[in-house]
């Protein structure tokens, strides 16, 4: 594989053109108006898989967004890798905070700015390019399957169905996912834990119409006032969640594992400076790494009600709304947590308002074993390209389908991510570093190589 770096350099312009062709499609899964874009993006992925060398690729239509599947089978006895990624992206609001058009990839200072540049178009395309290199240089020694979905950001509903219906087709030794981050540019890491998620929407109704806040204010319940009181009570002064039985299923992480986590390089001052906050604000008794790695959280993702336009309007509105997510940890069940929230929220509603709770998507947390062959092969690949062993970390993010793969396909997943926190995924000005994109391709090619030749991987 001496020509790997050269191959990447020679083809880098084409690789970027291919990535940009995906990035220009505004495949926002949460908005129905983007349905045609989902299909277009899936079709483009199919073309790219075939161009990279897949023998077979198809766009599978679903009730939601299409699923792209492609494969290159070289030998039924060779190891098989299934690459999972997603082509859907988050909404781009608030638009006014973007410095470049959100769907026009723009390179500035070594970074590609675009929605999806990292999450997950940039990260998943690295696999297709690593595969292409190995195939064209006759160094591919494993079977490769690609599966790309368009509903990752909204709960992967169709993919669960697809997996259940296609267990044979999806048979693999490992599932590899590039949709996570490294500790920093010089510190490779492999994500071995993901939080789960439950997402709900609440509506609080006071009077049946907007009222004059002078004529009624003080006598009639204001739904915004009440909503704020209700959600404020969901966390206490120690930043613990107050929903009864919320923590019942949370596994206690051993002091030993917590000590290990504490060894990961983490500069709290740099962390605070990067996001410009004077203080952090996590659950009492835990560190920031633990807050996002092993503890659940409660975040209001959106809130609205009343007059939000320019200037002033005195009004006692009829309704107030919030969207909220709870990140959950291994052993917590999203449906149970969702039900606990709903029951609690309804129980704390004063009689002067009516409340409606609508659960959206959810997903289980996941813990990945660090003694499986794929993990070892990945360790070796990182040593090859970064000159150092990756650190196992737990991410606060969620990829709900990963726990689903374990359950439905009985297959473990390896989270081989090349992002950085600074990439601002889900935020305005999402970006992905060019050097991470190219070094990711290199590392993935080495990973495929070592996974195909377990004898090359010496035990650590």
The single residue among 21, 35, 73, 91 that binds a second copy, judged by CB under 8 A, is 91
3-state secondary structure of 315: coil
Q: Does 266 bind a second copy (CB under 8 A)?
A: no
Region from 49-57, 142-150, 293-301, 408-416 binding a second copy, contact rule CB under 8 A? 293-301
Can you read off the two tokens belonging to residue 451? 């996974």
Please say which residue, 41 or 316, places its beta carbon nearer to a second copy. 316
First to last CA, the chain: 23
Give the whole-angstrom CA distance, residue 130 versus residue 335.
38
Give the whole-angstrom CA distance, residue 414 versus residue 421.
19
Q: Does 53 bind a second copy (CB under 8 A)?
A: no
Q: Does 12 bind a second copy (CB under 8 A)?
A: no
Can you read off the two tokens belonging to residue 411? 């297959």
Please say which residue, 64 or 79, places its beta carbon nearer to a second copy. 64
Region from 52-60, 168-176, 337-345, 348-356 binding a second copy, contact rule CB under 8 A? 348-356
3-state secondary structure of 254: coil
Please say which residue, 72 or 394, places its beta carbon nearer to a second copy. 394
CA angle at residue 135 from 380 to 16, to 5 degrees? 85
Q: How far is the CB of 372 from a second copy (least distance, A)?
A: 24
DSSP state, 220? B
**Per-residue CA distances from 194 to 86, 174, 332 (Å):** 17, 17, 12
Spatial contact of 65 and 147, defined as CB atoms under 8 Å apart: no
Q: How far is the CB of 344 from a second copy (least distance, A)?
A: 16
Q: How many residues are present in the chain?
A: 460
Please say which residue, 48 or 204, places its beta carbon nearer to a second copy. 204
Give the whole-angstrom CA distance, residue 448 versus residue 453.
9
Q: Does 187 bind a second copy (CB under 8 A)?
A: no
Residue ranges in 137-199 assigned as alpha helix (H): 157-165
The single residue among 53, 282, 373, 384 that binds a second copy, judged by CB under 8 A, is 282
Cis geometry, peptide bond prior to residue 120 (ω within 30 degrees of 0):
yes
The single residue among 255, 279, 284, 371 that binds a second copy, judged by CB under 8 A, is 279
Buried/exposed 140-151: b ≥16 CB within 10 Å, e otherwise = bebbbbbbbbbb
Q: How far is the CB of 279 from a second copy (least distance, A)?
A: 4
Q: State the CB neighbour count (10 A cutoff) for residue 229.
A: 12
Residues 366-425 that bind a second copy (CB under 8 A): 395-398, 421, 424-425
Please say which residue, 161 or 213, places its beta carbon nearer to a second copy. 213
**Per-residue CA distances from 147 to 70, 141, 159, 171, 407 (Å):** 7, 19, 10, 12, 17
Spatial contact of 146 and 108, defined as CB atoms under 8 Å apart: no
Q: Does 101 bind a second copy (CB under 8 A)?
A: no
Region from 5-13, 27-35, 65-73, 100-108 binding a second copy, contact rule CB under 8 A? 27-35
Give the whole-angstrom CA distance, residue 114 versus residue 100.
8
DSSP state, 454? G
Please say which residue, 164 or 313, places its beta carbon nearer to a second copy. 313
Total of chain residues touching a second copy, rule CB under 8 A: 102
Residues 135-174 that bind a second copy (CB under 8 A): 153-155
Q: Does 264 bind a second copy (CB under 8 A)?
A: no
The single residue among 292, 339, 372, 457 that binds a second copy, judged by CB under 8 A, is 292
Q: Does 299 bind a second copy (CB under 8 A)?
A: yes
Q: Does 361 bind a second copy (CB under 8 A)?
A: yes
Residues 301-340 that bind a second copy (CB under 8 A): 301-317, 320-323, 325, 327
Q: Does 93 bind a second copy (CB under 8 A)?
A: yes
The single residue among 108, 262, 352, 370 that binds a second copy, judged by CB under 8 A, is 352
Q: Does 195 bind a second copy (CB under 8 A)?
A: yes
Give the whole-angstrom CA distance, residue 314 versus residue 28.
36
Residues 202-241 that bind a second copy (CB under 8 A): 206-222, 224-229, 231-233, 235
Q: How far is the CB of 75 from a second copy (least distance, A)?
A: 38
Please say which residue, 115 or 380, places its beta carbon nearer to a second copy. 115
Q: How far is the CB of 84 from a second copy (least distance, A)?
A: 18
Please say which residue, 41 or 226, places its beta carbon nearer to a second copy. 226
Can you read off the two tokens belonging to residue 190? 């492999």
Beta bridge partners of 99: none
């Amino acid at each position: 594989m001496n020509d790997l770096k050269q191959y990447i350099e020679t083809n880098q312009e084409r690789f970027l053109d291919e990535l940009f062709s995906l990035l220009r499609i505004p495949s926002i899964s949460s908005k129905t108006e983007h349905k045609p874009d989902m299909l277009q993006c899936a079709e483009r992925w199919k073309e790219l898989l075939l161009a990279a060398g897949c023998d077979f690729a198809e766009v599978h239509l679903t009730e939601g967004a299409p699923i792209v599947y492609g494969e290159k089978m070289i030998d039924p006895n060779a190891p098989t890798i299934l690459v999972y990624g997603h082509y859907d992206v988050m909404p781009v609001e608030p638009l006014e905070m973007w410095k470049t058009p959100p769907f026009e990839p723009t390179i500035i200072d070594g970074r590609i700015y675009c929605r999806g540049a990292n999450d997950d178009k940039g990260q998943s395309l690295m696999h297709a390019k690593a595969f292409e290199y190995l195939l064209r240089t006759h160094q591919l020694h494993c079977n490769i399957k690609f599966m790309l979905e368009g509903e990752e950001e909204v709960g992967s509903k169709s993919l669960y169905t697809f997996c259940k219906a296609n267990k044979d087709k999806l048979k693999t030794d490992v599932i590899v996912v590039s949709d996570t981050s490294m500790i920093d540019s010089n510190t490779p890491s492999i994500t071995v834990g993901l939080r789960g998620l439950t997402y709900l929407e609440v509506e609080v109704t006071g009077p049946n119409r907007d009222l004059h806040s002078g004529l009624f204010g003080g006598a009639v319940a204001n739904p915004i006032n009440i909503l704020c009181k209700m959600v404020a009570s969901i966390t206490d002064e120690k930043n613990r969640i107050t929903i009864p039985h919320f923590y019942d299923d949370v596994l206690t992480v051993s002091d030993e594992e917590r000590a290990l986590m504490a060894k990961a390089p983490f500069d709290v001052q740099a962390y605070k400076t990067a996001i410009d906050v004077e203080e952090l604000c996590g659950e009492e008794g835990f560190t920031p790494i633990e807050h996002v790695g092993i503890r659940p959280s409660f975040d209001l993702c959106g809130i609205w009600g009343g007059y939000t336009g320019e200037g002033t309007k005195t009004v006692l509105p009829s309704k107030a709304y919030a969207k909220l997510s709870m990140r959950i940890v291994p052993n917590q069940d999203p449906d149970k947590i969702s039900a606990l929230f709903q029951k609690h929220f309804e129980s704390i509603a004063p009689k002067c308002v009516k409340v409606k709770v609508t659960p959206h998507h959810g997903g289980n947390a996941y813990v990945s074993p660090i003694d499986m062959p794929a993990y070892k092969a990945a360790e070796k690949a990182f040593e090859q390209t970064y000159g150092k062993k990756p650190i196992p970390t737990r991410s606060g993010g969620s990829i709900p389908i990963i726990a689903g793969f374990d359950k439905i396909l009985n297959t473990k997943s390896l989270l081989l991510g090349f992002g950085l926190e600074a990439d601002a995924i889900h935020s305005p000005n999402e970006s992905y570093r060019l050097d991470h994109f190219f070094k990711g391709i290199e590392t993935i090619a080495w990973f495929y190589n070592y996974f195909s030749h377990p004898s090359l991987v010496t035990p650590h």
